[in-house]
Amino acid sequence: MACGAVIIISRKVHPDTFRRTRLAVHLRDDFKCQHCGWQPPVPSDYDGRYALSVVTYDADQGKYGCRLLELDHIHPYARGGKFQIGNLQTLCNYCNCSKGDRV
Ligand SMILES: [Zn+2]
């Protein structure tokens, strides 16, 4: 399981539970990727309803992209990890994609 994990899981968790859990995990992690330390701007009224993101531009390839904060299962969902605050951490999508379903 790779980059689509968060989307798949969000279908199985009530939207308000997902929102509150995302906000709690990001607050605990100071809105920083726990691997690389990347941190997007955080609006003062942010409530976890959407993923924090920024548009990126790769000048070498001439392509636009998106970098965002995601929830990552420390013990992977694909291996039985729960959608609980203690098993979740904040990762950017770059680090989360490279982590995959590894612990
Ligand atoms: Zn990162």
Domain chopping of the chain, boundaries: 5-99
In the reported structure, the alpha carbon of residue 51 is separated from the centroid of ligand 1 by a whole-number distance in angstroms of: 14
pLDDT at 67: 96
In the reported structure, the alpha carbon of residue 56 is separated from the centroid of ligand 1 by a whole-number distance in angstroms of: 14
Q: For residue range 39-81, list pLDDT tens digits in order.
A: 999 999 999 999 999 999 999 999 999 999 999 999 998 889 9
Q: How far apart are the first and last CA of the chain?
A: 12
In the reported structure, the alpha carbon of residue 93 is separated from the centroid of ligand 1 by a whole-number distance in angstroms of: 7
In the reported structure, the alpha carbon of residue 24 is separated from the centroid of ligand 1 by a whole-number distance in angstroms of: 18
In the reported structure, the alpha carbon of residue 35 is separated from the centroid of ligand 1 by a whole-number distance in angstroms of: 5
pTM exceeds cut of 0.85? no
In the reported structure, the alpha carbon of residue 94 is separated from the centroid of ligand 1 by a whole-number distance in angstroms of: 6
User: With 0-12 CB in 10 A as exposed, 13-18 as middle and 19+ as buried, what is 84?
Assistant: exposed
pLDDT at 78: 86
Q: Would you say residue 8 has pLDDT above 70?
A: no
Instruction: Select the more confidently predicted residue: 12 or 67.
Output: 67
Average pLDDT, the chain: 89
- Could you tell me the two tokens for 60? 């070498």
